[in-house]
Chains A and B, each alone.
Chain A
Amino acid sequence: MTGPVLSVRDLVVEIPTRRGVLRPVDRVSYDIAAGEILGVVGESGAGKSMTGNAVIGLLDRPARITAGEILLTGEPIHGLNGEALRRLRGRRMGMIFQDPLTSLNPLLTVGDQLTETILEHLPVSAAEARKRAIAALEEVGIPAARQRIGSYPHEFSGGMRQRVVIALALCAEPELIVADEPTTALDVSVQAQIIALLKRLCRERGVAVMLVTHDMGVIAEAADRVAVMYAGRLAELGPVREVVGNARHPYTAGLMASTPSASGGHRRLRQIPGAMPRLDAVPDGCPFHPRCERAEARCRQAPEPMLQTCDGRAACWFPVVADEEVPA
């Protein structure tokens, strides 16, 4: 296959309010290839979930896409709505959300929910759909799938429920999966199981995965490439080893240094002063400059650094150079 599965180009999402227009997603561009996991990381309010929702067409009004394009295997999908989008969702794009209990219907058995999705999107008979539903449950590692298919969501544990949600996302064989904090509500041991499952499915089926999370450890372990978001913009984008190991953007570097790490011991954690700006008060120039110790006059004024105008890796005029000591 040629070309990326998902291609987002200069995407802008805006929310009109009485006090002006907010931009939770501001000129974001990235690609995801088949069989690749792109990790989207950032703190709360950075716009990472909003980007995911824009891709799958689940923006809550009044938020809307005002510029840019989203291409799924080359076809524009950002203009679609209603029925056309509904056909696409589930069939070509699967979704996994944070809380498996709210993304499953408590009144239907998991078998009903799976066969409904399969029948809706694929031209198969009811018997075949049931067979596929059992196969999907087996694939995500639910023991005794044939017996469990008649169970209701409340009869499963948290980890098993999230497996059901993954089966549901995969049962119509989509090309792209958007996973929004899929392991945040789970315990460490179950989280490790779900990450291993996602990686295996991604590799075996060649699905493109957009993994949205705030957990750097999860990203480091699961993702092939990372996009770091800050105040609605991409701060850094690159292969996971590069970004985690040799962060170029001062925000990414600060984020890494402020994560308590295995080797750190009782040493003081590095702090990034202040907090992320509110969307109605994003400063001119680089949005990170008020918290950045490398900031100079150029950072405080427009035009702000963007990935495209800098080195393509970090949106920063004065990126951290590899092996340079980050001042504590």
Chain B
Amino acid sequence: MTALIRLERLTRDFDVSKPWLNRVIERLPRETLRAVSDVSLEIPAGSVYALVGESGSGKSTIGRIVAGLVRASGGTVEIDGVDTVSAAPARVSEVRRELQMIFQDPFASLNPRWKVRRIIAEPVAVRGESTEGLSERLLEQVGLSAADANKYPHEFSGGQRQRICIARALASNPKIIICDEPTSALDVSVQSQVLNLMSDLREELGLTYLFISHDLTVVQHMADRIGVLYLGALVEEAPRDRLFAEPKHPYTQMLFDAAPRMDAFGREVEPPKGEIPDAINPPPGCPYHPRCPMATEVCWTEVPQTRHIGETRVRCHHAE
């Protein structure tokens, strides 16, 4: 199986320093926030790879780097065999056509002044190709009607708008769709409609998804392979069933325990300790050690390296 997307030691730093005058007067150093730290992963063609993590874990940043909206500070991003960092710009933009993105908020990601026909056809129109009947065909493919092409976004509900976003993403015949929390803004009954639509399209068109979400139940439903992020680092990666059956990293275990469950009536559990630390001054050693029940001295000082345990990749000194 060939990897359609390959990330190698991907890193992204953001400069979060105060303005230079403040730095001079108050003698402050430059500060950087490492949003993505040394992430390597491969997404085979036709599969669904999910990134999960809490806020600030870097999951959206990775999606945006792959989509070309944010530059990487280090490491490589290979899409369909083309290294987007070193290849010629023309080649990169060609390969980027195979990649589209769906965003979380279907209210903010559609231009309110454009008709749906123009919104959906835009990715094709900018390339000067014919868009005759394209919007109508795509609208029907995502479960809306062709007549909706003459409406404006405000005439649709949240779920319908997300369908429009999906139709727009499909317009340029992409191979890869990056979905950044595609159903977080939707109600459960609508969420199930959108998730089913995405599953159907994947089968019909052979799409590859990079699925970014904080919702474990949604991820478990959609993904083939799951990567768990904590403070920018990929702490665990495994095929879905493996991960849910046997989470190795204590952070993954904590996430699973903390997630509310439908069958856990009046469950009394010890809630997890602490919160996500400040990403500007992350703790030394393993970033999870201040909250980790298994932490020992080695965790305070040494950053754990990725280890392979069966099908799982895990970054923990003590996982076994």
Q: Is the CB of A221 within 8 A of B266?
A: yes
Pick the contact of A260: B192, B258, B260, B261 (CB < 8 A): B192
Interface residues in A32-57 by Cβ distance below 8 A to B read: 43-44
Chain A residues within 8 Å of B271, by CB: 189, 192-193, 195-197
Chain B residues within 8 Å of A2, by CB: none
Chain B residues within 8 Å of A62, by CB: none
Query: B214: CB under 8 A from chain A?
Result: yes
A265 to B55, CA, bound (A): 25
Whether A216 contacts B275 in the complex (CB less than 8 A), given A260-B217, A275-B190, comes out as no
Q: Is the CB of B255 within 8 A of A43?
A: no
What class of interface size applies to chain B in its complex with A?
Answer: 35 or more
Whether A269 contacts B196 in the complex (CB less than 8 A), given A188-B214, A262-B220, A264-B221, comes out as yes
Q: Is the CB of B195 within 8 A of A216?
A: no
Interface residues in B238-297 by Cβ distance below 8 A to A read: 241, 244, 254-255, 257-269, 271-272, 275-276
Chain A residues within 8 Å of B159, by CB: 275
Closest beta carbon of chain B to A274's beta carbon, Å: 9
Max chain A Cβ within 10 angstroms of own Cβ: one of B159, B192, B260:
B260
**Which chain A residue shows the least CB distance to B241?**
A265
Query: A178: CB under 8 A from chain B?
Result: no
Closest beta carbon of chain A to B263's beta carbon, Å: 7
Q: Is the CB of B187 within 8 A of A220?
A: no
**Smallest CB-CB A-B distances: 9 pairs:** A217-B260, A258-B192, A260-B221, A192-B258, A43-B187, A187-B54, A269-B192, A193-B271, A196-B271
If A191-B258, A217-B217, A220-B260 are given as contacts, then 16 extra A-B residue pairs at C-beta distance below 8 Å, sorted by A number, are A43-B190, A44-B158, A159-B275, A191-B260, A192-B259, A214-B187, A214-B188, A216-B188, A218-B260, A221-B260, A259-B262, A262-B220, A264-B220, A266-B199, A269-B195, A271-B196
Chain A residues with a Cβ under 8 A of chain B = 43-44, 157, 159-160, 187-193, 195-197, 199, 214-218, 220-221, 224, 240-241, 244, 254-256, 258-262, 264-266, 268-272, 275
Chain B residues with a Cβ under 8 A of chain A = 54-55, 157-159, 187-193, 195-196, 199, 214, 216-218, 220-221, 241, 244, 254-255, 257-269, 271-272, 275-276
